[in-house]
Structures are given as C-alpha cells and as structure tokens.
Structure 1
Amino acid sequence: MAGSSNGRVVPAAYPPPVDSPREFIKRGLDPEDELIEVGVAIVGGGTAGLAAANRLLQLLADDPELMESLGEVPVAVLEKAKTCGGHTLSGAVVRPEPLQELYPDMTREDWRKEGFAFGEVTKEAVYLTPTSKAKVRIPTPPNFKNHGNEVISVAALARYQQRIAEEQGAYILTETSATQLIVDEGRVVGVRSGDKGRGKDGQPLGNFEPGTDIKARYVILAEGCWGSLTGAAIREFDLDRDREPQVWELGVKEVWKVPRPLDRLIHTMGPWPLKLSSKYGQVGGTWIYPMKDERTGDDLVSIGFVMELEYADATTSVHDMLQLFKLHPLVRGILEGGERVAWGAKALPGGGYWSMPKLSMPGALLVGDAAGMVDTMALKGVHHCINSGKIAGEVIYDALKAGEDSIEIYEEKIENSITGRELYEVRNARQPLQQGMIKAGPAIGMSILSKGKLPPGRLKWHKNDEKGMFIGKTAEIYPRPDNRYTFDKLSSVFITGNATRDDAPNHIRVRRNVPREVAETWKWMCPAGVYEIPEDAPESGNVDVIVNYTNCVQCGAITAKGGRLTTPEGGDGPLYTIT
C-alpha cells in the first residue's frame, strides 16, 4: 500500500513542496556591476566555517602579495543569525588538540578567560537508569572516556572566532542568508544572499532589500546540519554516489545555574525513560556536564537528551523526555535550588564515515557538520569541525598560491587526519541501532573494541523518513510543566531570544494535509511547538497541519521526518549565547 510499511505510515511518502536542486542553484553570475566580488566566501559562521576563515587568514597574513590579490574582501563569512554562534549548539566536551593547533598562542586558561571554555574533565561517571528512581554505575566505555577534554560552549567559541577573523581582515556578514549556490560551466563560482524585507506571501515590504550575487574564487560550505546549499551541492555534483544515506539525531539542551558545583562529567544510557521494545525504535542517552564560569564565578551545568530520529512512535518528544529525565533523583539532586538560564535544540548528522558525501567539488568544499563529520558513538564533533575547517583553509591557500583550480587534495588530507581516522574506526558501530538497543548492544561493543574491524565490510542504513510511524502511548509519561524544574516548549523557545518577525516568509516546507500519524510525528518531535493539529481534526485519516513557523529555532529535525527546513530570512531564529 502506498505510503505504508508493515501497516504503518511512512513520512517519505509525503514529500514537501521543494524543487531541489533547481530552487537552490543559480546558473551563472549577474553582470559585474551588480555583484560583490570576494576572495573566498564561507557560508556559515559556526566553529567549522570560522576555523577555515581563521586559518586561511593566518596564512595570508604572511603572504601580503597574495592577500592583496584577493581584493578588498579576501574572506567573507555569511552567517544567517544575528551574530556568529547565534544558531550554534552542542554538548559540548571537546578534544583540545585541534583548538591548540589553530590557536597555538592560547592556553586553556586563556580559553576560560575568553568565556568559551569551562574546565578540564578530571572525573567522569556513566550510569544506567533502569527505572525512574534507580541508577547503576558502570565502567566507562572506551568511547565515553573524556579525561583531559574540555567543556566548552560552541556558541561562545564562535563569537571568539568571529572576533579573531574580523581582526585578521575578514568581512563578517551576519543576518545574511545564503539562498542559492551559483554554478557556471560545472564550477561553483559564488553564492547569492537572500532577500530581506518580504512579507508572509513574498511581497516586498517598505524595507525590502534584494539579495546579491557574491562572486568568489572558492566557496566553503559550513552550514552545519541540513544546509540548503549543501543539499543542493550534493545533488548537483552527485557527491553522495556510492555513499550510505545520512541519518540524524536530535538533541535538546538546557544550561542551569546551580548552587553547588558538579565535580564530574556524567552520561546516562537508559533504558529509562525510553521504551526498550524495538516496536518503538527509541534509542538515546543523556549528558550532564559541569561548567565553571571563571569570569563570574558561577557554577553551571549543561544537561541534555539526545535521541535517534529513527523512532516509530509518533508521540516521541525529545524535549519532553529531557523534562522527565530531570525528575530522576540523580538529576534532581544536581539541579536542586538552581535556575534554568538557557535552552536550545539542534539536529546532528549521525551516519558517520559511510554517510559522508564526497567533500570537494569544482570551486567548493564541505566542512564540519555539513559534511557529516560527527562521531555519535563518542558524542564528538566539535574537534572535527575545527580540524576540517583548518584543513580547508590550508588547501584553499595552497590552491590560490599555486594558481591551481583543483582542491580535491582536501579529500586525502581529511582521510589522513584525526577526523578520517576516528570516523573510520567507528564506521560500522552505529548501524545496528536501527534494530533497537537490545539487539544492537553486542554488535556495537564488538565494533568499538575492535576499532571497526568487526563486523567487517560496510553495514547499510535506511533514511529516517522511511521508518513506518504509528501513534503510540509514549506521551502518557511526560510530566506536566511546573515552571520550576520542568517547562513547556513555548517558554523554552522564549528564553532563546528568538526574534523571528510575525510577518516573515515561511521557511518551513511540509505537506499541509497528511495522515494523522505524520502530523502527530511533527507535532511531538518539534522542540519549538511549530506544528499543530486542529482540535476538530479527525482521529484517523488525513488531517490539516498548522505551521507556526515563527516559533522555529531551526533545529533541522523536520527534514529527517518528511519535511524540509529551508533558509530563513537573515536575522531570524534564536540567539544562543552559552549553548
């Protein structure tokens, strides 16, 4: 039966109204007098894109002749948020080596003074939570060992990297979306910035500003999760040929100011509050990280819940799972007497090595999350973002210096770096999770202990939106918000600083009339309460979907489950500061 799998509804059968790649690819540049010309254009002001900018400008600083040849704007960074890092979120415990290589004159103490680092990991613990009250400490698995790593805020790190880039001569275009990749004769030659000042129906308002072609010798796509230009580039240049499809996870995070410092990093692996049955397909875990703000003296805690977007019960909600998890005595004791000061949500690529597309194309490179460089078995991606950005900057510098057009050497350099080596070692560790946690456990352990040698070969994936959905009873366990420890979605969105104007164009593409199972999936999945089902909608069959797109925090999860997040107007969305 069309649109169903084993009697369940498959979201992929109801694709969104998107004309890709045509919608996101522009053929040829505007006339010279109507465009902006830069040396290198970087799309995305997160840790990966800014690492590329920082490294390239370090090299250009020692080569003034080449710097001058790139014109008045040697490096331009386009960031759709109000500031770099404004849409950036991660756990995050980072391996320090790529940061130390990129900024060799800085010590860890300097990182903390700059406000993006919060302490070295000296103690850690991993627990199973078999019930809502019990906990069982287990030996720390190899992939969860973090001794010597650093707890950081990626939003704050990006703001630091932005400042350094500007001091080095970069032109940072914040509140600027890149809406089209410009391709001419089979080569990427620039990007087009998005229009500003359009109304709900696309009509120009009084403050309308049209987008502009930005011509560049090279483009670096650092859009992070679900970039519209990245997706278009993958299709345009067939970059995912012979690759596995990408799969995704969703993380929801809070930062708390607490009266007592937490002395160790904590991970939990369930099974509570998830359902173990493979029928539900729920796989996930949590983190609790101590954060000491050396500038203010505040003791903070980062707490988050991350889940595979492979689940089958439409009423699964990562936001509500996090609220429930906070009621466990282990967590309650840490947060007791504290105050929630930040919240955010973000999808992340989980496919790893086999799902990474080809990383180069004529005129452009992919870096960081845009390229799928995340090791979800170790909950690590930030150091890969920094490392890939650094390598991209070096490769483009070498190409500019030599006057060569090819930048394919980037593939080899990534493969031989810490990023390629680490992702290769866990290349088959995650795929068993699509069979459920119980069946997956032994295979995952074997893969991690053997560093990828067992099981041999290449394990397959299927896309998350090909999972059949049903309306289960997971939602029955969610707590009612008390606005002290547990909170609803809308109050959470409020503290992100989300400033999307009410009359902005809709940047979310979904079918507006879909089976109830799909509508319920979107309603519960979205951490920002974007999707609603009318109260008078039928209990079965097709229903209409209300899209409150101005709530969106641009986490990207909708694209994994049957919809599509596209680029918003520049300046819209959250303004994360410490996530």
Structure 2
Amino acid sequence: MELPERESMEYDVVIAGGGPAGLATAIRLKQLAAESGSDISVVLVEKGSEIGAHILSGAVIDPIGLDRLLPEWREASDRPLTTEVTKDEFLFLGPGGGVKIPTIGLPRLMDNHGNFIGSLGNVVRWLGQQAEALGVEIYPGFPAAEVLIEDGKVVGIATGDMGIGRDGKPKSDYTRGMELRGKYTILAEGARGSLTKGIIQRFELNKNSDHQKYGIGIKELWQVQPDRFQKGLVQHSMGWPLPNKAGGGSWLYHFDDNLVSVGFVVHLNYENPTLSPFDEFQRLKTHPMIRDTFEGGKRIGYGARAIMEGGWQSVPKLVFPGGCLVGDSAGFVNVPRIKGSHNAILSGMLCAEHVAAAIAEGRQHDEISAYENAWRGSEIGYDLFRVRNVKPLWSRFGTIVGIGLGGIDMWASELLGTSLFGTLSHGKPDHATLKPVAEVKRITYPKPDGVLTFDRLSSVYLSNTNHEEDQPVHLQVKDMDLQRRSEHDVYDGPSARYCPAGVYEWVEEGGAPRYVINAQNCVHCKTCDIKDPNQNINWVTPEGGGGPNYTGM
C-alpha cells in the first residue's frame, strides 16, 4: 500500500539522541540564544521510553563537562552526583590471586580524585529537566529512523513509523512517522548509531581516519551489605579471567547508599569465537579479590552496551552538509581512563557554539567547518591525544607488555609533551579478527550458581527490556545462507556468545541449523552490528520506546 505523507515541523536545530552530548548541545544552544537576546528553536528525539532509559555507564564521571555547562550544578538540591572518589585501587589478577599496583607509578591522568561516582542515567535525566526548563522540546519514545537528505544536504530526520506488523504491513494502530526539519541536524546517538553509520558512509567522513575500534561493557548494579561497602572506592582490574591476547578489564565503584557498580569491558578485537564476554564477566566475580564484596548482597540491575575505543586517530570528520556529530557518535572516549561523558558534554557545547554562530550569520545546511577545525585543539583533543597509543599497543602486544608500554607512553606524553611511538594505527577492524573455530582452543564456562553468577535471561529481566513483539525484526541479517555457511559452519556461531542478551541462537531443525533471533531480548548494545565476521547483521531502530528501561544505571 502507498504510505501517507509524513507531517513535518520546522526548527532551527534537530538533535537525534538524548544522552549527555545531545542534551549538552541543546542546553548550550538555548544558553547562547538567551545571552544574545535571540531565540533558537531546538527539538531533541530519544528512542528510549524516557530520557535516561538507554543510558549505561560505569560510571566515574570527570565533572569538567558539567562544571562548564552548568556551573551551579554542585549547589543544586537535586544534584545528580553526590559521591566523590576517596580511594583509587588498581589490581592485576591471576587465576588464584593478584597484586595491587601502587598508584604512585601511574600517570597522573589516571588519578580519579576529584571525580564523582554515580549513575550517568540519573545525570542525563537531570540534564533533560534543565533542557526543558530552557525551552528545548524533548520527545522520548520517538527513534530517529531516517536522515532526510535533499540536494546532497541533510535537512532533518524522520521518526520511525509505529504500528507495523512482523510481516511489514501496517496494523490497525499504524501511525506515520514525523519529519523534523532543521537548519542543522546533530547526531548524538552514541556508539555505533544507525543513522551515524549511514552518514559516515554517505559523506565518507572516515576517509582520512583510522577505522573505529570497540569494546563491549557489561554492568551489574548491586545493593551490598554495609560491612562490604566502602563509599567512594574506585577499583579497576586487568588480567584474569581474560587471556593475555584478549584485552579488557573490570571496575567496581562504591557509591550512594551501599550501591556497587561492577562491570567488565572486553575489547571486540578478540580472536577466539568461543569467548563469551558475558560469561567472562560472571567468572570475574568469583575471583578471591572480588567476590567478598558481594557476599550477602543483591543484584538489582543489569545492562550492556558497546564502547568506542578508537580514540584520536579514529575520530571521523565531524561535519557534513547540514549537520555535525557529537559525543560517542564521534568516538570521544578516553580508553585508559574509561571515561567519555565529560568529552561528550564538551563536544556538545563546542558544536553548539559554532552552530549558533552559523545561524546568527543566516547560514543553513552547510558544513560547520569551524567545529571540525576546533576540536583537536580543544580540551577534548588534548585528552585523547595523550592516550592515543594505549589501545594500539594493547592490541599489538597483549595485556602485560602492551599496558606497560602504554603506561610509559602516557608518562612521556605527560612529561615531555610527545609520544615515543608517534601515532600508531589500529590494525584490523574488530569484525575481521576472529579465527575459525578449528584453529582455537574451545573455552568452556561453569554453570551459574544464581547467587553470584547468573544466566543471560535472568539478567535481561533486570534490564526491564521490552519490545512490541509484532513488529519487524530490527536485527536484519542481509544473507541468511552466508550466516549459515560462515558464522555457523566456520566460526561455530559466535553471535550466541558475544551477545549479552541471548538474542541469537543456532538450533537444529530437521537435521539442519536454523538461526533464531529473539529480538525482544535486545538491549541495544550494537555488538552484533560490530563483531559479526561478515558484517552481515545490520542493527536498525525498533519501534519507539522499545529496548531496556534502565534505573540507576
């Protein structure tokens, strides 16, 4: 059937994504308009059911972004961060024990004192309130599903249609999406955003940059016993349970009232297709230097998401005709610090300042080249430049040697203002690193005990994930025969292991393997879009409001 035309609304600026970068952009635009006595109309759409519903982070937060954006935030009665870091610990773990690494030997940029521990989701909810108070129109539950391009220029976005059945046909409650048109469109979708991916390809924004690198971060939130709680403690580890050639590490953060955020990051350039990041995380909690924290405690939250790890050399061109990239859409995470929200906020502010200047000059739909030219000389660039070789060294030499060389290089950058290695490239993209299952030693994992370690489905339950089941599957396999011949036959179905939500299964049916996609379990981490060895899975936005509904994450 022929679909009805979309209704449209006009704004000065359209923002896709309600995370720290998108909200900082919106807030700063409104601040600048007020300072100049003008008005800038701003609309922001967010695919989650509410602002903050899809936000997941450790999180130890460098407050520089909040301090610049809203200097009064520390005095607010409803301030979203109250726990300051009081103690830093770094552990190197082996199978049966480990050592604490003296913090005096670590580069100063790794010091967490002065930072805050908390829920980034709560920070984002608070930022949403500040944005609405300034006049930003915010529409949660409306995913940006399409970029509108006319005469080679981006002129806005369209939200997704609602009420389409699994068969692709409109149902009785079908509602056409809305066109939101603007002089400039800002993509703030976070890691591996579906629109951002398309825009980068369409305008060749990564033509002069290295390919992006990724990790998967898996997190649980625990309420622990008071005698196991150390408010303000930040603890990071590396080593066991991962093998030396598989990069990653853990965190434990103690904050608020007996809450502990525990998480595990696995770099997605690992080689063994039988490795399961979820199960490695569960094993981590059994380590003798970790497990005591959780004795008598209760797991109250779970989630997962991809992390941008390419850094300085992987940041694409940030501008295209009619818009800009901000935050993790651009890849502004500082990998060794495991921090990106501060740069997300700073990038949103920087973008807003240049977009506001363009609007004041009467421009629209052009490239904001001043933003592109400014970021590398800003605090964001300085933050990323100092650590640009840590990830390549880790990937090239493994955890023990790579981290040692990375530490030396960070000290050199800090003390001498230069690197010993220049700027290293990242090697293979993450989807190209898996070895055929015949070439690796298969990893087997213990069964969960339901007390300290858990299975995927009970974990997804805690994420409050929900999707309307009668809708098109948003995890699109381009060639199902290729998936069987390669993903199954050569690599032994790694999607069933790298997915932290039990979305993918290979089942035997009539003597042949059949690929089952449990799309309703998806927590929107995007790992499948990144790690599939043939780039045969395409993640697109599901119906609005679907996915996790994180609380306190």
* TM-score over 0.5 for the pair: yes
- Partner residue, 1:122: 86
- Partner residue, 1:551: 521
1:134 to 97, 103, 111: 97
CA–CA distance in 1 between the matches of 2:476 and 2:548? Answer: 19
Alignment-mate amino acid for residue 520 of structure 2: T
Query: Unpaired runs of 5+ in structure 1?
Result: 1-29, 293-297
- Partner residue, 1:52: 25
CA–CA distance in 1 between the matches of 2:239 and 2:61? Answer: 26
Alignment-mate amino acid for residue 341 of structure 1: I
- Partner residue, 1:207: 173
- Partner residue, 1:270: 238
CA–CA distance in 2 between the matches of 1:41 and 1:253? Answer: 31
Alpha-carbon contact 1:76-1:172 (below 8 Å) kept: yes
CA–CA distance in 1 between the matches of 2:183 and 2:219? Answer: 38
- CA pair 335-468 structure 1, distance change in 2 beyond 3 A: closer
2:198 maps to 1:237 = no
2:385 maps to 1:424 = yes
Q: CA deviation at 1:543?
A: 4.1
- CA pair 519-216 structure 1, distance change in 2 beyond 3 A: farther
2:56 maps to 1:89 = yes
Give the TM-score taking structure 2 as reference length.
0.91
Query: Could you report, residue by residue, the CA deviation over 1:412-468 in whole angstroms, capped at 9, with x for unpaired residues?
Result: 322222111111112222112223324524432332122251112443432111113
Query: Unpaired runs of 5+ in structure 2?
Result: none
Q: CA deviation at 1:408?
A: 1.2
Alpha-carbon contact 1:129-1:268 (below 8 Å) kept: no
- Partner residue, 1:305: 264
Alignment-mate amino acid for residue 36 of structure 1: M
Q: CA deviation at 1:524?
A: 0.4
Q: CA deviation at 1:547?
A: 0.8
CA–CA distance in 1 between the matches of 2:501 and 2:426? Answer: 32
Alpha-carbon contact 2:66-2:73 (below 8 Å) kept: no
- Partner residue, 1:258: 224
- Partner residue, 2:503: 530
CA–CA distance in 1 between the matches of 2:146 and 2:161? Answer: 11
Q: CA deviation at 1:270?
A: 3.3
Alignment of 1:33-44 (within 5 A): 34-44=7-17
CA–CA distance in 2 between the matches of 1:273 and 1:234? Answer: 36
CA–CA distance in 2 between the matches of 1:491 and 1:533? Answer: 20
CA–CA distance in 1 between the matches of 2:530 and 2:24? Answer: 27
- CA pair 474-270 structure 1, distance change in 2 beyond 3 A: farther
Query: Could you report, residue by residue, the CA deviation over 1:385-426 in whole angstroms, capped at 9, with x for unpaired residues?
Result: 111011112111111112234521112322222111111112
CA–CA distance in 2 between the matches of 1:314 and 1:520? Answer: 8
Alignment-mate amino acid for residue 553 of structure 1: V
1:344 to 298, 303, 317: 303
Alpha-carbon contact 2:390-2:403 (below 8 Å) kept: no
CA–CA distance in 2 between the matches of 1:291 and 1:460? Answer: 35
- Partner residue, 1:3: none
For residue 89 of structure 2, give the secondary structure of its aligned residue in structure 1.
strand
- Partner residue, 1:372: 331
Q: CA deviation at 1:326?
A: 1.0
Alignment-mate amino acid for residue 518 of structure 2: N
Alignment of 1:390-429 (within 5 A): 390-405=349-364, 406-429=367-390
2:317 maps to 1:358 = yes
- CA pair 212-454 structure 1, distance change in 2 beyond 3 A: same
For residue 355 of structure 2, give the secondary structure of its aligned residue in structure 1.
helix
Alpha-carbon contact 2:246-2:267 (below 8 Å) kept: yes
- Partner residue, 1:461: 427
Q: Out of 209-218 and 246-255, give the one that drifted further.
A: 209-218
CA–CA distance in 2 between the matches of 1:407 and 1:234? Answer: 16
Alpha-carbon contact 1:501-1:550 (below 8 Å) kept: yes
Alignment-mate amino acid for residue 389 of structure 2: N
- CA pair 463-389 structure 1, distance change in 2 beyond 3 A: same
Alpha-carbon contact 1:218-1:363 (below 8 Å) kept: yes
Q: CA deviation at 1:118?
A: 4.1
CA–CA distance in 1 between the matches of 2:384 and 2:60? Answer: 17
For residue 243 of structure 1, give the secondary structure of its aligned residue in structure 2.
coil
Alignment of 1:133-212 (within 5 A): 133-140=96-103, 141-142=106-107, 143-212=109-178
Alpha-carbon contact 1:44-1:77 (below 8 Å) kept: yes
Query: Could you report, residue by residue, the CA deviation over 1:490-539 in whole angstroms, capped at 9, with x for unpaired residues?
Result: 1111111112122122111234332324452100000000000114697x
